[in-house]
Amino acid sequence: MNGVVRLILHRLALGALTLLAVSLVIFVGTEILPGDVAEAVLGQGATEETVNNLRKLLGLDLPAHIRYLQWLGSLLQGDLGTSLTTGKPVIEMIAPRLENTLFLAGTAALVAVPLAIGLGLVAARFQGSWLDKTISISTLAAISMPEFFVGYILIFVFAVKLRWLPSLAKLSPSMPLGDKLVLIILPCATLTLVVLAHMMRMTRAAVINVMSSPYVEMAELKGATASRIVMWHALPNALAPIITVVVLNLAYLIVGVVVVEVVFVYPGVGQLMVDNVAKRDLPVVQACGLVFAGTYTLLNMIADILSTLANPRLRHPK
């Protein structure tokens, strides 16, 4: 187990470096973008006088590297800073949004991951049959459509035509859990359809790959049923690539859902980040960037650790 602890520490240190690099890239990126927060906030209505007033008010008249170091300094003290456009602490803006994002991603994962692995196993078990083909074709068809299109189709069928579900997922913090779940059925279904194929295909391929190993043939010879072979002999040895793909998709569910948030007016972090990039509100953009980069780093680390644990050869290196 010592190796695993060392791996975690090593990964955490690298993760912190990654975050620092990401924050620098985001800062430089927003500096390169045309216009600053003062011009963006005032938009077409900006005059030179009001722009200068706002710049002075927000401290934008300082040189870029000083602003970055100031931001980094307060971050190290645990302070994400204050939004330039709303004047609210960034943490107050991002916390409820992050909760929503995790809620949607979590629910979608609870549906999508078991479904994808289950379908993958069924497809592997009945490889080449009509069932396998139907599963593959339908999930591949779903992933081939852009997610906003999947969302629009679901809205059209279930909200406009059948009127079973609301077309907007406008959550509010005070809502009971049941109401929240009803509201996110459509976005959740959209996300599920989008991530299903990737995980399902990987499960199927990994299991089929293992199925051609000599020990599976041995299991067949000793008389084990096909289902038992898939579940007990093939799956545990195919876990590593499946875990990697599942975790990659989990990360996508958290950081890649801006389009779905826009279509369903879901108050998540993605929308917050896009709005604030448009307004050049650097502290908020930085915070969102750190959340996203942190999510990726953390989930990748978990994927590596789980793969190591799932593989006896890596668990007990010689």
Residues at the interface with other proteins (CB under 8 A): 33-35, 38-50, 53-54, 56-57, 83, 85-87, 93, 97, 152, 155-156, 159-160, 163, 166-168, 170, 172, 262-265, 267, 271-272, 275-276, 278-279, 281, 284
Q: Which is nearer to other proteins, 127 or 167 (CB)?
A: 167
CB of 275 to other proteins, least distance (A): 4
Structure token pair of residue 218: 């041995």
Q: Which is nearer to other proteins, 64 or 157 (CB)?
A: 157
Q: Which is nearer to other proteins, 33 or 62 (CB)?
A: 33
CB of 197 to other proteins, least distance (A): 24
CB of 170 to other proteins, least distance (A): 6
Q: Which is nearer to other proteins, 41 or 219 (CB)?
A: 41
CB of 152 to other proteins, least distance (A): 6
Buried/exposed 125-159: b ≥16 CB within 10 Å, e otherwise: beeeeeebeebbeebeebbeeebeebbbebbeebb
Sign of CA dihedral 165, 181, 244, 211: negative
Q: Which is nearer to other proteins, 96 or 241 (CB)?
A: 96
How many Å apart are CA 110 and CA 98, to the nearest integer? 18
- Decide: 100 and 171 in contact? Cβ < 8 Å: yes
What are the C-alpha distances in Å from 2 to residues 15, 299, 308?
20, 21, 12
Q: Which is nearer to other proteins, 149 or 215 (CB)?
A: 149
Angle ∠(14,255,151) on CA atoms, nearest 5: 160
CB of 239 to other proteins, least distance (A): 39
CB of 167 to other proteins, least distance (A): 4
Structure token pair of residue 290: 């750190």
- Decide: 192 and 139 in contact? Cβ < 8 Å: no
CB of 112 to other proteins, least distance (A): 23
Q: Which is nearer to other proteins, 64 or 160 (CB)?
A: 160
Residue 310 burial (10 A CB sphere; 0-12, 13-18, 19+): middle
Angle ∠(306,308,309) on CA atoms, nearest 5: 65
- Decide: 110 and 307 in contact? Cβ < 8 Å: no
Structure token pair of residue 222: 């000793």
- Decide: 105 and 250 in contact? Cβ < 8 Å: yes
